[in-house]
Amino acid sequence: MTDRYAVVGNPIAHSLSPRIHAAFATQTGEDIHYEKLLAEKDGFAEFARQFFASGGRGLNVTVPFKLDACEFADALTDRARAAGAVNTLARQQDGSILGDNTDGAGLVADIRDNLGWPLRDKKILLLGAGGAARGALLPLLAENPQQVHIANRTAHKAEKLAAEFSAHGQLTAGGLEDFPGSFDLIINASSASLSDEMPPLPTEIVGPQCNAYDMVYGAEPTPFMRWARSLNAQVADGLGMLVGQAAESFFLWRGVRPNVGPVLEMLRKRSFD
């Protein structure tokens, strides 16, 4: 029988996940059905309970339900516990529900493997201190960068995050006014691009041969990407992260690792309608 999966969010109409997982299934020969489903904003637990009770095997979880999914899961992976958020739920053999967070792994896989940007011994600036920044920290620190500096509009949130993860690597933090030098890689994990804005950043933070990554994706380059490109940085949007996190979820569910390159290429060729 075909195994059932879905992405759940609110809103959900524009999700690319069904296309991505359909492409993974074709590529790997896995027999799955994957759809997008809308849940009421205060109804995640009931939605998820019914989905799994009716035979569903796994869920991807997007805005605004990642914290609800964390609470719903019977057990969490280490990276989900560190992120404090869950984007993937998987029904286990014994019927219990495992919560994972594959966003950070998807980000690192995109940067390291698709883009070929080095992370080891590099100076990394992480902009933002919300859920996406939190989820990225453990996978980024596992790559042994020289330094990760977290900068956020609200400085104390960045400082809190750095203190929480300090056992895992060399972390500093602050606001958007004062930066410790220049960086090899700047990752925009703020949501500023969603409103076509960018954090007010000084040009001095862009080091020579700097790479700049915006977690937001769309048909047009974001203001952050345009700014970084004007300073001769190499830029990328977050579409590869989206495909990367999907690949990690697919692997968790099916035990088969899909090849993200062709799927990313297919999505790039289409418009984001």
Residues annotated as part of the active site: 66
Asked if residue 15 binds ligand NDP (CB under 6 A), the reply is no
Asked if residue 241 binds ligand NDP (CB under 6 A), the reply is yes
By beta-carbon proximity to ligand NDP, the closer residue of 56 and 131 is: 131
Measure the CA–CA gap between 32 and 12, rounded to whole angstroms: 20
3-class DSSP state of 186: strand
Asked if residue 199 binds ligand NDP (CB under 6 A), the reply is yes
By beta-carbon proximity to ligand NDP, the closer residue of 99 and 238 is: 238
Measured in residues, the chain has a length of 273
**Placement of tokens 């809190």 in the chain:** 160
Give the residue, chosen from 166, 194, 203, 230, that forms a contact with ligand NDP under the rule CB under 6 A: 194
Q: How far is the CB of 65 from ligand NDP (least distance, A)?
A: 12
Q: Which range in 44-52, 114-122, 239-247, 257-265 contacts ligand NDP by CB under 6 A?
A: 239-247
**Each residue of 119-147: b (16+ CB within 10 Å) or e?**
beebbbbbbbbebbbbbbbbbbbebebeb
Asked if residue 245 binds ligand NDP (CB under 6 A), the reply is yes
Radius of gyration of the chain, Cα coordinates, nearest whole angstrom: 18
- Interactions with ligand NDP, residue window 85-114 (CB under 6 A): 103
**Each residue of 177-188: b (16+ CB within 10 Å) or e?**
eebeebbbbbbb
Q: Where are the alpha helices (DSSP H) in 145-259?
A: 155-165, 223-230, 239-254
Q: Does 14 belong to an annotated binding site? A: no
Tokens of residue 178, six digits: 């004062």
Q: Does 103 belong to an annotated binding site? A: yes
Give the residue, chosen from 39, 148, 187, 216, that forms a contact with ligand NDP under the rule CB under 6 A: 216
Asked if 179 and 151 count as a contact pair (C-beta separation under 8 A), the reply is yes
Residues comprising the binding site for shikimate? 15-17, 62, 87, 103, 217, 245
Residues comprising the binding site? 15-17, 62, 78, 87, 103, 128-132, 152-157, 215, 217, 238, 245
In the complex, the residues that contact ligand NDP under the rule CB under 6 A are 103, 128-133, 152-154, 157, 189-194, 197, 199, 215-217, 238, 241-242, 245
